[in-house]
Structure 1
């Protein structure tokens, strides 16, 4: 038998709900089918289940509700490819077509609740047969629509195929293409579903005039310089979306939309417009964090997002740090003024300047410093960037009762790779960085230049449902060439312990120590982490992790005493990133390591 079906329907049908004067309580038992997804779809489509407690009904309305559910169950079965499936519903053992059921319900006692049993017989799973796309222009490639002959005849991928077909045609330059809803032909004798897609591709178009709407304080010439699409090029929605995301990345716009004209211009080209909305130029943020080793911290950030009309940023930060904590000896501060100018001399090249003052009172050392940096950064590929700068520092550091003044001049250079999907909560992709900083002491006990090298990386692997189960790993290796650990300024040595390396230990406590068990630091470091992240419901998650690391007194990684910490954590996901709570304990005891540490902050640990 062949029946013409106008389109496959998704779940969500609703019907009228009748009410009676005397509500009739009931229970519902839906027999499992063995397919958990189908069982969820059946339960979600059922008004008997969904309205049982929220909308009580009388005896007759209960019967109507059960009868209307039959159509909903059929829709759910069709959506999963079971076109011969049946739903058998009974109330107190009476089938729905029992002519005496209504009278039975009317005279049955109100207590106990009447039992409603639903048994599903899915039948044979149907598969897709012939898939025909009509109206493709000569020479056009057949788009990949995500379904193929022989696949189960499930409604969601069939309906999604229409959007993929439309995207595929637009991606070939048919900007005004239209695709009708799929038409399905059911062959019940062969358990096959044939599909037809009817398309109207329209002409293949080039880009016409490109308009930019909504600019207020931004320089239009600068915005056009950012765009990498031009009039006369073939219409390409992927390139247009990349241009849109590139404008959003400036941080100046709260929204950017690409709007196509509904018809070509007289020259046969398609005009487009970028509709933008500028964010408020000024913003203030409050940041707070806490850990048992470093105590609490509080910072105020004031930002100007568009200082001179070309997306220049001015950032002013003032913060108090080390408010308590078992690895601190007093309250510290951090003041920083930074200026960022994008597209200096050429596109994707930025210049950043900063001035700062910092005070740290740690168990490892006390430090007061004035810093100044000038950094030129360039993005030279989609995921690659490089930077080179000049860093000057005047500091006074006290360690083990001895105070030294240092004046340092460095040339930090960094090569970075990042293809992760999110800054604060990545679920897939990789990050890697190579940092080399040759430093020349201009004043202080150390006069010889030294080179600090660091290689770090992290990877994120999505193990199941997108973004729900993630395995995250990270690693760090560092070395100092040209100076021993004793000759280095204490803050330029390597340490481990804390949220950035090995959780569970006091901050900087893993590695060489002085006789009084205070951290001494070393000339080489190795650290690594394995962390599993599982999300629950919409806003909650949990993690388990293992951290390990070691610091060597000489310039030889993998030769120091190792520390290892294990822990668990909780996550609450917000629109700006997850709020993090981690608890870790040391596995390998080191002097003065403590018994556990707690870390609270915004974003994942790495």
Structure 2
């Protein structure tokens, strides 16, 4: 990015405040005194008068105002207040009408006798015991019709989920004595027997049955459990083998304590092609071509290949995937690839052969790998050639309330890798890498936090090729600086990469209109050989567009070190997490 003008303002002088005001039309005022919290909310929601506007006919407002006492009494009874007293006033002013209600709710009705029984096989079911322990319908509690109705629904729903299809309430009653300020609850549920799975049929002829058994935690003869059937559906849908998954219990045909379940499976198309076009400041225009052979045989073997072309980073990869049956291991991956990088700081050509196991452990995606690496790189004026045998392990976990537009979520990554000269390698080293990104709601916008760290332990750092050295700067690092332009320099002033990496970012994103948002951010970090080396900082503003293909970002960043650029413009695409 060319420098257009020199200035010496502090980097933090970029920040500003934008206030946009809008004028709203007059609205009716309905005021409640004497009540608050849930009771006030329920009284307001039960009042028909709240639906009327300022230009509503006077006769209609008067009619609804006369009806208000009856509506407020019903709304108060729903929360256990049976002795409510109301004083009300209605005024018609030039701009709009106003209503005020002074409420004396009286003492709430308390539950005296609560008799809740589960009879039949469900009496000893832990799920029902947990439900009854957690309910707020208990002696001494305040009468709440919503909780009472919800408990009835929860019992019936849980019975259906656990296979008690003959269950019914033998007694259900709520008796209120307003004069005494007490109420009695009686709920007797007769569950009958619990149904078991009769036949469990997976309707497909594409894959070997033993391949799909790995997704079954429920089998013929097991007690019916809707949760386990949902897990079966989820596992088959996420397997990548099927276009359509439908789990259908035969409720109408259930008899003699047995219910048959049929799982309809429609195989996914055998071959898929993908073409992608993108751009980013770090890599420039980017073209990707992918070919997936989703089904090579009945054992679920797959082949994936991808070609990525850009002026900075191009690669070709091939991966053969084999499903596994061992615990914590979903797939075995055999990989081969070639990558060519050409940045302003380094040029490298890397060939890779690798073996990986992919699986899950305690909610984390776990990858164990063994890679053979042959890399030749030019770093500054130094040529490095290295052959490495690198074992490693990686854990990744992503959690989000929404896949494309998370309002709350996180992505965490931890990796340990290394090599030793005694094991077919030209260098000895151990590296630890950790990265995290968090999205949190803040006011009307979102707070985005990001950090990347890395540490190398090696007796001779100069033996490491470019791909195992740390650099900072760029769209996903410290904005305001060119891609991989930050790090230790040699005598000629060329950036040669560092042993350590620490970068971080704080960003606030605020919606402005529709799919558009504005952002303010501060980035900091560097790659270095000693912890005493300086940290680079930048600050900036950005524009975000939530496009149909994912978020698109445009940032203007000002670095604190302006020896190269006064500012840089960054463009990037990709998910928030």
Q: Does 1:410 align with 2:389?
A: yes
Q: Matches of residues 455-494 of structure 1 in structure 2 within 5 Å?
A: 455-458=433-436, 460=438, 472=449, 474-484=451-461, 486-494=462-470
**Equivalent position of 1:438 in the other structure:** 419
Matching residue of 1:6: none
Q: What are the Cα deviations for residues 3-28 of structure 1, in whole angstroms up to 9, with x where unaligned? A: xxxxxxxxxxxxxxxxxxxxxxx975
Tell me how far apart the structure 2 counterparts of residues 559 and 429 of structure 1 sit (CA, whole Å): 30
Shift of 1:29: 0.7
Q: In the alignment, what sits opposite 2:229?
A: 240
Query: Aligned pair 1:367/2:365, yes or no?
Result: no
Aligned residues of 1:216 and 1:278 also touching (Cα < 8 A): no
Q: Displacement of 1:265 after TM fit?
A: 5.7
Q: 1:563 aligns with which of 536, 543, 547?
A: 536
Measured in 2, the distance between the counterparts of 1:571 and 1:522 equals: 32
> What corresponds to 2:197 in structure 1?
207
Aligned partner of 2:111 in structure 1 is 129
- The alignment status of 1:226 with 2:215, answered yes or no, reads yes
The answer for the alignment partner of 2:500 in structure 1 is: 524
Question: 8 Å contact 1:511–1:562 — kept in the other structure?
Answer: no
Residue by residue, what CA displacement relative to the aligned partner does 1:258-295 show, whole Å, maximum 9, x if unpaired? 44342786663333333445444444555455444444
Aligned to 1:512: 488
User: Counterpart of 1:420?
Assistant: 399
> Alpha-carbon deviation of 1:72?
6.9
1:334 maps to which residue? 315
Equivalent of 1:453 in 418, 431, 442? 431
5+ long unaligned stretches in structure 1: 1-25, 94-111, 322-329
Show the counterpart of 1:548.
Answer: 524
SS at match of 2:348: strand
Gap change, CA 1:430 and 1:600, over 3 Å in 2: closer
Q: CA deviation at 1:562?
A: 1.7
Greater relative CO (CA pairs within 8 A, separation 6+)? 2
Distance in 1, matches of 2:257 and 2:390, equals 54
Report the equivalent of 2:28: 29
Q: How far apart in 2 are the matches of 1:470 and 1:315?
A: 36
Deviations 1:206-257 (A, max 9, x none): 33321224x3644444223321222233333333333332222213345545
CA contact (8 A) 1:457 1:476 kept: yes
Deviation at residue 92 of structure 1 after TM alignment: 3.1
Match of 1:143 among 130, 140, 143: 130
Separation in structure 1 between the aligned mates of residue 570 and residue 476 of structure 2, nearest angstrom: 13
Return the offset for 1:350: 0.8
Closer, same or farther: CA 594–341 of 1 in aligned 2, 3 Å: farther
> Over residues 565-600 of structure 1, what are the superposed CA-to-partner deviations in whole Å (9 max), with x where a residue is unaligned?
445666666898x62536364664275365345343
Match of residue 3 from structure 2? none
- Aligned in 2, Cα 1:31/1:207: closer, same or farther, shift over 3 Å? same
| 8 Å CA contact retained: 1:134, 1:197 | yes
Match of 1:382 in 2: 362
Distance in 2 (alpha carbons) for counterparts of 1:441 and 1:526 = 30
Alignment: residue pair count: 539
State the superposition RMSD in angstroms: 4.8
The TM-score with structure 1 as length reference comes to 0.70
- Contact 1:390–1:412 under 8 Å retained in 2: yes
In 1, the alpha carbon distance for the partners of 2:481 and 2:81 equals 57
Q: CA separation of 1:455/1:142 partners in 2, compared to 1, >3 Å: closer, same or farther?
A: same
Kept in 2, the 8 Å contact 1:377–1:387? The answer is yes
Q: Identify if the C-alpha distance between structure 1 residues 550 and 212 changes in structure 2 by more than 3 Å, giving closer, same or farther.
A: same
CA distance in 2, matches of 1:248, 1:256: 6
